[in-house]
Amino acid sequence: MRRKWKASVPIKILLCIFWLFAIILPLFRMLSTMASVDVLAVMSAKKFAKALLQSLTVSVTATAISVSLAGLLSWAVARTNIRHKALFITLLTIPMLIPSISHGMGLIIILGSNGWLSRLLGLSGGIYGFWGIVIGSVMYSFPVAFLMLYDVLRYEDGTPYEAANVMGFSVMKKFFAISFPYLRKPLISVVFATFTMIITDYGVPLMVGGKFMTLPVMMYQDVIGMLDFGKGSVIGMILLIPALIACILDMVNRDKGNASFVGKPYGIRKNKVRDRIAYLMVIIVIILVFLPIGSFAILAFVNKYPIDMSLTVKNILQAIHMGAAEYLRNSLIIAVVVSVLGTALALFNAYMTARNRTKLSYVLHLMSITSLAIPGLVLGLSYVMFFKSTFIYGTFAILFLVNSMHFFSSPYLMAYNTFGKINENLEDVGSSMGISKWKVIKDVLLPQSIGTIIEMMSYFFVNSMMTISAVSFLANVGNKPIALMITQFEGQMQLECAAFVSLVILLINIIMKSVVFAVKKKLTR
């Protein structure tokens, strides 16, 4: 029987107090500003109603396309015999390494009013508006949906399929009798997670939306442009709803998923026609994914798109002259500090909840995953209102804190699941042998979790490098991250410089991912 650790209770209370000040109270502070706002007047305004309707229509459309595409790709990788699967997965998830606004910029270069494909095909009007946002949102969100569905398919038990083959079930009958019931609940989580990503994003609509207004863009303009925090809070409350539903569904399905097991891996039969179709599908999507990325990579080195396509380094020098080097340094400082502090806090939190289970542990666990339900824009606005009169406002510290909280839940759950799989009596055995709890953690738990720890640090680093949502209301000239220069250059119609900044972020994140891959490969030898 596991012994109770007396010191864990005050530690958990302190952690709960920390979460109270880091997440709960800022959120309540933001929502409390609605008391001075005529909420009904804001929500009944034609502009608000139109933005809400347009946000819903574009998000539903993009979610349907994104999840469908992710489902086909996850099937192509998980259920066929194509080779180089690891390479394909890496290439398909490259879009996750750049800000959403960069996807919008890539679309402008290809299908904008002066886009190279628009001019090649003689198209007029450009990609701006509904379909521009849909295409950009699909590019931004499908890699996440793909990874979630691929993970589900990869661990599906193959035993029912063997029985179905023996009984002579058709492909369609197997799908509706076995696959669909198995996928139904995870698919609901994927749909809501994807929908939440799209409806709360302002990067793509800001770049390619044109006159097609969405709620996040309206919130961004009201707070940044007009300093209307009350109206911003009302919009923030609306954006919390789908995120909260997605969080609840994820919690429910995660708990049910933990109870399942894989009796036998799914057996993939030989089928050359199926494999060729899978190859074709994956390669076409990879080409489409890399078209915008390749376009802004080229744009970074042209003189003046589309008038003068001669190669130059002028854009790099211009970006540096406007502070890109300093802002890159800021981003690296933020990413490194957040990756270290965020990982340490996530590990400590996970140890307290996964290895010292009490009623208080469940409260702490719920607080630790709260940020899953809070969009970055909403979290950033709540921090402005709560911390504005404190000493950390306007400093690097508030950016360290907001990024750590914004991206906390996923790394925390990585550590929570890893610690939960390690023998629960380990500390008791060590105690009976005179080995301290901290020595067990240092010599056993952490070494066994090193792969997870590396992934946690990578997650914090990559997302801190490319985020524009949570930091957009909090950054100033002294601590501004480089990703916010993309919106600055876009507003000044300097797409070449914005392309260079996007390329820098992509390259740094690729380097980070490559280092993580190399380290993990070395550790597994």
Residue pair 2/429 in contact by the 8 Å Cβ criterion = no
DSSP labels, 315-375 = HHHHHHHTTHHHHHHHHHHHHHHHHHHHHHHHHHHHHHHHSS-SHHHHHHHHHHTGGGGS-
Domain end marker among 299, 323, 347: 299
Residue 254 in this model has a pLDDT that exceeds 60 = no
**pLDDT: is 141 or 185 the higher one?**
141
**pLDDT: is 243 or 253 the higher one?**
243
For 212-240, what is the mean pLDDT? 85
Indicate whether 319 and 437 sit together in one domain: yes
Domain end marker among 280, 299, 318: 299
Nearest one of 473, 345, 336 to 409, comparing CA atoms: 345
Which residues span the domain enclosing 69?
37-299
Cβ neighbors of 391 (< 8 A, separation 6 or more) are none
CA–CA gap between residue 393 and residue 473 (Å, rounded): 11
Instruction: State residue 258's pLDDT score.
Output: 46
Which pair of tokens denotes residue 249?
A: 């569904």
Instruction: State residue 37's pLDDT score.
Output: 80
Indicate whether 352 and 212 sit together in one domain: no
For 111-123, what is the mean pLDDT? 82
Residue 336 in this model has a pLDDT that exceeds 90 = yes
Indicate whether 86 and 208 sit together in one domain: yes
Residue 256 in this model has a pLDDT that exceeds 60 = no
Confidence of residue 257 (pLDDT cuts 50, 70, 90): very low
Residue pair 64/253 in contact by the 8 Å Cβ criterion = no
CA–CA gap between residue 73 and residue 145 (Å, rounded): 10
Instruction: Give the CATH number for residue 268.
Output: 1.10.3720.10
3-state class (DSSP) for residue 169: coil
**pLDDT: is 395 or 447 the higher one?**
395
CA–CA gap between residue 105 and residue 368 (Å, rounded): 35
Is the backbone peptide bond immediately before 306 cis, with ω within 30 degrees of 0? Answer: yes
For 149-177, what is the mean pLDDT? 72
Listed ranges 22-26, 122-126, 355-359; the one with the highest mean pLDDT = 22-26
- Phi and psi at 375, nearest 5°, equal -60, 150
- As for how many domains the chain has, the answer is 2
Confidence of residue 162 (pLDDT cuts 50, 70, 90): low
Percent of the chain at pLDDT exceeding 90: 39
Listed ranges 326-330, 415-419, 438-442; the one with the highest mean pLDDT = 326-330
**DSSP single-letter state for residue 177:** I
Domain end marker among 299, 330, 353: 299
Indicate whether 312 and 433 sit together in one domain: yes
Indicate whether 69 and 138 sit together in one domain: yes
Residue 265 in this model has a pLDDT that exceeds 70 = no
Cβ neighbors of 502 (< 8 A, separation 6 or more) are 98, 99, 102, 105, 296, 300, 486
For 109-130, what is the mean pLDDT? 83
Indicate whether 286 and 215 sit together in one domain: yes
Indicate whether 116 and 244 sit together in one domain: yes
3-state class (DSSP) for residue 162: helix
Indicate whether 195 and 233 sit together in one domain: yes
The pLDDT tens digits of the residues spanning 85-116 come to 889 999 999 999 999 999 988 898 898 888 88
Indicate whether 91 and 6 sit together in one domain: no
CA–CA gap between residue 372 and residue 351 (Å, rounded): 19
Q: CA triplet 524, 464, 384: central angle to 5 degrees?
A: 150
Instruction: State residue 1's pLDDT score.
Output: 45
Indicate whether 249 and 361 sit together in one domain: no
Residue 361 in this model has a pLDDT that exceeds 80 = yes
Indicate whether 215 and 69 sit together in one domain: yes
Mean pLDDT is lowest, of 123-127, 274-278, 375-379, for 123-127
Cβ neighbors of 396 (< 8 A, separation 6 or more) are 330, 333, 334, 337, 479
Indicate whether 288 and 201 sit together in one domain: yes
Token look-up 């990578």 returns 458
